[in-house]
Structure 1
């Protein structure tokens, strides 16, 4: 069976969970790149979904899930595949071959009318082997694209077969800020100021930040959307007149969040601490960034993510320029995905301690 392509990770709305190490020594010593073992677990999951468990699954599903499941039709195929270690482009001669690969497993559930999928990911080949003892594989991030009832069945399957613990991955306001800044930094890498501004506007377009407020200070206001127009985006990326007042650590960061925070305080009298860098405890406690939305990605504090990349190459004039922007967008998306995987690892360790 051919390895799964990393393109499967993009252009899909995922729900995020963190996953403890998978213990599989009773069945096999190695899991990744062991297609026999993957086929064995795929067959078990298929049997569980098509057996008597399915009746119980539908009985406990919500109205929305029940409606979704009733339209899927019969399960035709359940496959487990390791992700390819090559780049998403699959072209070793292209510049995109330098991009990262994501060790892990793609689970595909093909029904008559729809296909659902899940992915178990690690940061690198070495991290997937933690803990180092044989018979365990560490894939800390679980991505799922399926109805909740089906998701819970998959989680129960992982728990029963691998003695694994799974929990929703919530993303803090500080992480959403750092993720946004990391994405912007990757877009600007290797380009001069004019070129990076063009790429930034082309890839991100309009940026929307959703602010959430605690009921203690805003009982009638649950959220507030702050939109940055495409034409104004570059202005928030470059350091302004207050550059000399920033510390060395702040200067090394992308200035988007500090500049936006300063702008909101100056023009709207809103004192915010979205990234946790301010000593303002009131703002830290009652106002947070809950969602980042743009043309390139969606990242929510509730544990949802979508990375949008182009899988095509333009045949029109200006192809090199188009490919340059596509490559930058892919590189930035991979960096953001790596950050989310790293967050799953940190969250797992925090829970363990």
Structure 2
């Protein structure tokens, strides 16, 4: 069976979970690039989804899930595939494109009327098979799923029963969303000089930020949407007067979040700690960024992600040409995905 293209990780709305190491010694020594093992687990999952356990799945599903599951038809195929490395033609000439291969497994559930997917990923350049083969353990810390909740829970139960794995929702704190947004912008601007802001405008277009408030301080105002139009992005990307208020580390990155915080404080009298650097404990406790979305990506604090990029166009350019908008967007999306995988690594306890 052919490997799955890593391009399937993009242009899909995923639900994020953190996953502990998969233990498979009782069945096989290795998992990745072991098609016999992947076929075995695909068969087991298919049997579970089409067998008597399906009745239990329906009995525990809510009404919305029952309606969706009743319309998808019969399960035609269940595939487990290793994810192939990216094939960017610029990898050899641009060191920022090194390690763009995402080791992992793509699970595809093809029903009569719809296709659901799940992906188990490790960081580029890492060795998921960290233990000696005799121990039979593979570490793929990030689980992405696109399916109804009842089906998702069945798949998580399958991973627990077959690999003795623990799975938990992956929440993205405000500081991570801010850093993710700035790293995305930084990657777009790197090496472009005067045209950097123009590229950011073309890729991001309009930026939507959702601020969430605790009920203690704003019982009637749970969220506030802040919209930054394409025409206003350049102003927020300029160092301007905020430079003196930023630390040396902050000055090396995009001033977007710092400028936004200054703007909200000046015009709305809202003192927000979006960067996590303020000593204002009330701001840290009661106000946070809960969602960042634009034409290029969506990141939700509740554990949702979508990276929008035309991989075929990005990888189809000549390696001698200057990087195009599509290639820069792909590079920035890869950076963001690597950050999310890193966040999923067990033991990362960054405060919200």
Question: What's the TM-score bracket when you normalise by the shorter of the two chains?
Answer: over 0.9
Which residue is equivalent to 2:86? 86
Q: Which runs of 5+ in 1 are unaligned?
A: 315-319
| Cross-structure match for 1:107 | 107
Return closer, same or farther for 1:323/1:185 CA change in 2, 3 Å cut-off.
closer
Provide the TM-score with structure 2 as the length reference. 0.92
Contact 2:206 2:230 in 1 (8 A): yes
State the shift of 1:101 in Å: 1.1
Instruction: After the TM superposition, list the runs of 4 or more consecutive aligned residues in structure 1 that deviate by more than 6 angstroms.
Output: 90-97, 320-323
1:238 CA displacement: 2.0
* 1:11-62 alpha-carbon deviations (Å, 9 max, x no partner): 0000000000000011111100000000000000000000000011011111
Residues 242, 258 of structure 2: 8 Å contact kept: no
Specify whether residues 321 and 270 from structure 1 end up closer, same or farther in structure 2 by C-alpha distance, changes over 3 A only.
farther
Aligned CA-pair RMSD:
2.2
Find the aligned partners of 1:153 and 1:90 in 2 and give their Cα distance.
Answer: 39
Q: Which runs of 5+ in 2 are unaligned?
A: 315-319
Report the Cα offset of residue 126 of structure 1. Answer: 2.8
Partner of 1:61: 61
The aligned residue for residue 136 of structure 2 is 135
> Structure 1 length normalisation: TM-score?
0.92
Task: Report the equivalent of 1:208.
Answer: 208
Shift of residue 312, structure 1, vs aligned partner? 4.5
Does the 8 A contact of 1:209 with 1:289 survive in 2?
yes
TM-superposed deviation, 1:143: 0.1
Verify the 8 A CA contact 1:6 1:84 in the aligned structure 2. yes
**CA deviation profile, 1:145-185 (whole Å, cap 9, x unmatched):** 00000000000000000000000000000000000001000
Question: 1:189 Cα shift?
Answer: 1.1
* Cα distance between partner residues in 2 of 1:24 and 1:114: 30
Contact 1:210 1:226 (C-alpha < 8 Å) held by counterparts: yes
**Cα 1:198–1:47, aligned 2, differ >3 Å: closer, same or farther?**
same
Give distance in 2, aligned partners of 1:140 and 1:229.
36
Q: Distance in 2 between matches of 1:297 and 1:268?
A: 27
Aligned residues: 343
**Match for residue 278 of structure 1?**
278
C-alpha deviation, 1:244, in angstroms: 3.2
Alignment-derived partner of residue 327 in structure 1: 327
Cα distance in 1 for partners of 2:67, 2:181 equals: 36
CA distance in 1, matches of 2:166, 2:69: 25
